[in-house]
């Protein structure tokens, strides 16, 4: 069988034997053949990458400004070559009107896209606006600069760091062609004509670092012919047609012609032909090897571009772990005894928040920075990652809170630290924003504690990014709009009101979109303000609110409760901002548009005829959406160990659903990926926040949890076992500081009930026993044993408060195993049931009540809401969170009681009915015996507040 030698072998066989005297015939170095060999090799390498990492392909982006025909031709060649090799290539074309800033923004987006490994900015930049080409090319990330044009790559090449940079494609192709000749570069005399940064300068450096003696010639070189005559290797890139004459060339030299020039030729249909910088016919007679034009260096430039892209992808894969973040964690310096939260917080230097955002896969364009430690995340990230499967969804709850505290948020953060920093899993914690009430009241902030807390402590406890203030302002705006409506309607005629609502502007009136929607609801199918009748004008301008049925209070956050005169006969009732329906809407919205619709549906009053009045009727819904357009973006901070935390919204858990926002969870689930974990805090205990997490939040978000974590403490269980009452700030009775197994075992009956409550939703439950210094091994073993016998998937003791994430590693492992179990998630009740039936089912299943008593006012509301079409909303029970019964002092598992329903509120915008259990008080700003604000002061030198924790 005849064997055909490879092209490289043929070249070697035809190589000249010497550099002087008699020589072999000139060999034409075909760039077409060599580039084909390169592309075939790259194709095999890409196939190997895809086999090792299924679904992976090198990514290339060509960014073009304008629409030049020559640029389009070059780009089509690059895209075709990429497709043949298996590279995922995309062409981004910006219009000629693009500004430099827009070009830089596009480059920044591609720089941060992990799916792109090579970025080419097609030159020239064809824009009508001024462009700094150097600035634009240097904006490309050096690790993606497959053209090798950035100053960083050029600098590395000039100092010989060839293995740590990208080499410009044309010089790189030239070196490949020289290698095909079999001629060793080392020790040869090389001449480069031209000193551009695209060809000449990098060609000089490449030859130099491959040990040639190099001379660079240019327009000022004296006796160019003599210099060329010395060259054993000649590379020409001057851009001048046939400037190098054949008689100049040293016999047997390697001649690489990089020129592409057009000269007149009447024999060609186009009237011109392409030639290089070397006079090819005469040079071929003297050279040992020579590249033709076309068909020489040109095809190699594209091939080397593909080579650089594949090499970039290989470098990416060296650090790449499928589905894993490239994140740096911080190891805290744990002290014993554990210092105060403020001392610990200030001892830790957080990572720049922009760095953390990048580590978890956020683009810089998706993040609004608030200094170095806080950021807001834009909602567009959900759309970008919509094809990414969600991660594992973990809900953290606790036994009913006691004055001793169960450490629910501390456990949320400690578990996230354990999963991330210690088990090498992508993990994000999602928690509620602390309200100002606790910060200035008794608790003194709420961002975890010990070595499982989020930072920056003071900034988040005080203002964060102003979300609560935005809700407060929005709530006050609604109250002001109601008050203005009452005052103006009592003082002015229909026509005067119409002139206010639809004023003349340049002799014309025009309805706003909100007003057009109101007209449609009134059945008035008109769009021209001049065509309304007097009767239609009256219906349009008058809401006729009954001041005795106003369902809205102004929002405050630290103010004492009460009423204040407005200067007229109407009064205003104050309520805390976190109890506002606006906060619940912010937390339950799935998008900006969803929030806008929910805000418009809020019922804020009733007309004298008994019809509901919404914010849309008031004409204020659009303004509310504008006030909240930034507040809807989740806030990104971090734990002491550098684990990402979303802290967003703070609806109360006793009268609202008490969970961080849907959007924070949705973004987090996309960012962590299918093998990662989102650890979401739920407010209060399993009978309050967890139930509302499932039956309200999951109902509206469409998300389905994998695991529930139930936090318990020995102290809290002893209290539920009929231990003596405790008071915050006072020494604990000995029953809590000494081993008492009988008292603890009685209290574990309550733990059993809460495990059953959590398991009722069809997902595995892991009990986290948050340990204290006074707990004994026997007590902790007893709790774990009884928790598992009650049906918990597992029960683990945790020491994350004292040790950080290291103290919750076993809990993290248990959660990881539980998440692999099959989940049969289900809601507690069917929302289509009649209102009274839902309340009854809820009370029996969650609280263990024998029945409910729906008192007269509540019964009236049942009938009213059913008539208005609100009957299919879920239930958000408003009762004391301190016990399963309606008695705050109740302990353990009550039996044989009737739960009295005193009233029923409704939040149409948020989307739930709120049965009010008798003895429950609507939260208002409290007045504790001794508040933390007495201990808070500002150090004017350090700008830090005093340590009141």
CB distance 769 to 797 below 8 Å: yes
Q: Where would I find the beta strands (DSSP E) of 184-324? A: 189-193, 213-217, 233-236, 254-257, 261-264, 272-275, 289-290
Beta bridge partners of 681: 396
CA distance 138 to 701: 43
CA distance 530 to 925: 49
CA distance 699 to 876: 12
Give the torsion through C-alpha atoms of 32, 34, 38, 43, to 10 deg: 50
Q: CB burial class (10 A; 0-12, 13-18, 19+) of residue 853?
A: middle
Burial 681-716 (b: 16+ CB within 10 A, else e): bbbbbbbbbbbbbbbbbbbbbebebbbbbbbbbbbb
CA distance 925 to 927: 7
CA distance 259 to 242: 9
CA 155, 364, 328, 446 torsion-angle sign: positive
CA distance 236 to 258: 6
Query: Any idea which residue has 């490949």 for tokens?
Result: 176
CA 378, 379, 384, 386 torsion-angle sign: positive
The catalytic residues are 78
Q: CB burial class (10 A; 0-12, 13-18, 19+) of residue 525?
A: exposed
Around Cβ 642, how many Cβ atoms within 10 Å?
22
State whether residue 664 is helix, strand or coil.
helix
CB distance 774 to 757 below 8 Å: no
CA distance 169 to 180: 16
Main-chain phi, psi angles of 672, to 5 degrees:
-75, -25
CA distance 771 to 795: 12
The maximal CA–CA distance of the chain, rounded, in angstroms, is 118
Structure tokens at 675: 């093998």
Q: CB burial class (10 A; 0-12, 13-18, 19+) of residue 225?
A: exposed
Nearest to 879 by CA among 914, 913, 930: 914
Question: What is the Cα gyration radius of the chain?
Answer: 37
Structure tokens at 587: 């937390």
If you count DSSP H runs as helices and E runs as strands, how many of each does the chain have, helices first?
36, 31
Nearest to 430 by CA among 146, 671, 104, 738: 671
CA distance 469 to 576: 11
Half-sphere exposure of 239 (CA within 13 A, CB side): 8
Nearest to 90 by CA among 100, 102, 103, 78: 78
> How far does CA 319 lie from the centroid of its chain?
22
CB distance 800 to 332 below 8 Å: no
Nearest to 274 by CA among 289, 258, 285, 287: 258
Q: Where would I find the beta strands (DSSP E) of 751-875? A: 765-770, 794-798, 851-854
């Amino acid at each position: 069988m005849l064997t055909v030698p490879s092209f490289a072998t043929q070249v070697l066989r035809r190589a000249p034997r010497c550099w002087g005297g008699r020589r072999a015939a000139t060999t034409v170095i075909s760039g077409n053949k060599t580039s084909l060999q390169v592309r075939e090799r790259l194709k095999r390498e890409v196939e190997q990458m895809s086999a090792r990492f299924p679904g992976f392909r090198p990514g290339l982006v060509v960014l073009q400004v304008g629409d030049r025909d020559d640029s389009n031709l070059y780009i089509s060649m690059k895209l075709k070559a990429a497709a043949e090799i298996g590279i995922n290539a995309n062409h981004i074309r910006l219009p000629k009107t693009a500004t430099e800033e827009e070009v830089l923004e596009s480059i920044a987006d591609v720089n941060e896209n992990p799916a792109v490994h090579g970025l080419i900015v097609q030159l020239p930049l064809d824009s009508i606006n001024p462009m700094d080409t150097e600035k634009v090319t240097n904006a490309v990330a050096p690790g993606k600069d497959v053209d090798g044009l950035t100053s960083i790559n050029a600098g590395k090449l000039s100092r010989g760091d060839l293995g740590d940079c990208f080499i410009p494609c044309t010089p790189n192709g030239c070196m490949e062609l020289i290698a095909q000749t079999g001629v060793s570069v080392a020790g040869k005399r090389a001449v480069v004509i031209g000193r551009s940064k695209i060809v000449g300068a990098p060609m000089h450096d490449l030859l130099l670092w491959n040990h040639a003696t190099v001379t660079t010639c240019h327009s000022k070189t004296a006796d160019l012919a003599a210099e060329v005559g010395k060259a054993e290797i000649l590379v020409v890139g001057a851009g001048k047609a046939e400037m190098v004459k054949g008689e100049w060339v040293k016999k047997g030299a390697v001649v690489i012609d990089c020129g592409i020039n057009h000269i007149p030729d009447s024999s060609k249909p186009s009237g011109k032909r392409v030639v290089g910088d070397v006079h090819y016919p005469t040079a071929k007679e003297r050279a040992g090897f020579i590249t033709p034009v076309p068909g020489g260096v040109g095809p190699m430039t594209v091939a080397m571009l593909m080579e650089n892209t594949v090499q970039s992808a290989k470098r990416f894969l060296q650090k790449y772990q499928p589905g894993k973040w490239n994140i740096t964690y911080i190891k805290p310096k744990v002290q014993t005894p554990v210092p105060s939260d403020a001392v610990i917080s200030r001892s830790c230097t957080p990572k720049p928040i922009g760095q953390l955002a990048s580590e978890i896969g956020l683009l810089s364009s998706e993040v609004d920075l608030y200094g170095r430690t806080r950021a807001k995340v834009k909602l567009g990230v959900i759309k970008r990652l919509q094809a990414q499967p969600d991660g594992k969804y973990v809900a953290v709850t606790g036994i009913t809170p006691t004055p001793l505290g169960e450490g629910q948020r501390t456990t949320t953060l400690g578990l996230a630290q354990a999963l991330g920093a210690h088990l090498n899993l992508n993990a994000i914690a999602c928690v509620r924003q602390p309200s100002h009430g606790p910060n200035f009241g008794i608790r003194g902030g709420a961002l975890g504690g010990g070595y499982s807390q989020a930072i920056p402590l003071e900034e988040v406890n005080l203002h964060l990014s102003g979300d609560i203030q935005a809700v407060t302002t929005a709530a006050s705006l609604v109250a002001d709009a109601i008050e203005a409506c009452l005052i103006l309607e009592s003082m002015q005629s229909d026509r005067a009101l119409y002139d206010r609502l639809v004023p003349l502007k340049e002799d014309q009136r025009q309805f706003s979109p909100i007003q057009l929607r109101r007209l449609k609801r009134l059945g008035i199918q008109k769009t021209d303000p001049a065509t309304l009748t007097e009767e239609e004008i009256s219906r349009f301008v008058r809401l006729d609110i009954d001041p005795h049925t106003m369902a809205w209070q102004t929002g405050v956050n630290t103010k004492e409760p009460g009423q204040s005169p407005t200067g007229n006969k109407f009064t205003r009732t104050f309520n805390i901002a976190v109890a506002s329906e606006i906060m619940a809407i912010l937390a339950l919205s799935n998008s900006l548009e969803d929030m806008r619709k929910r805000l418009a549906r809020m019922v804020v009053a009733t007309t004298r005829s008994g019809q509901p009045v919404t914010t849309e009727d008031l004409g204020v819904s659009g303004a509310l959406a504008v006030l909240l357009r930034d507040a809807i973006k989740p806030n990104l901070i971090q734990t002491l160990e550098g684990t990402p935390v979303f802290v967003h919204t703070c609806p109360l858990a006793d009268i609202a659903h008490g969970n961080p926002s849907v959007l924070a969870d949705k973004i987090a689930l996309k960012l962590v990926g299918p093998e990662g974990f989102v650890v979401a805090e739920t407010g209060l205990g399993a009978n309050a926040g967890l139930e509302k997490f499932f039956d309200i939040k999951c109902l509206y978000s469409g998300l389905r949890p994998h695991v529930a974590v139930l936090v318990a403490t020995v102290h809290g269980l002893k209290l539920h076992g009929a231990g003596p009452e405790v008071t915050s700030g006072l020494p604990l009775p000995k029953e809590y500081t000494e081993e008492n197994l009988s008292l603890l075992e009685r209290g574990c009956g309550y733990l059993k009930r809460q495990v059953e409550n959590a398991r009722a939703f069809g997902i595995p439950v892991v009990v986290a026993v948050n340990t204290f210094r006074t707990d004994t091994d026997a007590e902790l073993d007893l709790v774990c044993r009884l928790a598992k016998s009650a049906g918990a998937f597992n029960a683990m003791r945790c020491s994350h408060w004292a040790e950080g994430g290291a103290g919750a590693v076993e809990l993290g492992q248990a959660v990881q195993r539980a998440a692999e179990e099959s989940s049969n998630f289900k809601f507690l009740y069917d929302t289509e049931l009649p209102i009274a039936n839902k309340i009854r089912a809820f009370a029996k299943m969650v609280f263990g009540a024998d029945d409910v008593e729906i008192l007269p006012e509540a019964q009236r509301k049942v009938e009213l809401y059913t008539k208005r079409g609100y009957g299919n909303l879920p239930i958000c029970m408003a009762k004391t969170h301190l016990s399963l019964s309606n008695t705050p002092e109740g302990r353990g598992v009550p039996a044989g009681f009737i739960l009295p329903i005193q009233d029923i509120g409704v939040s149409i915008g948020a989307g739930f009915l709120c049965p009010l259990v008798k003895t429950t008080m609507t939260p208002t700003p409290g007045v504790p015996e001794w508040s933390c604000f007495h201990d808070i002061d500002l150090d004017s030198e350090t700008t830090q507040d005093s340590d009141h924790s």
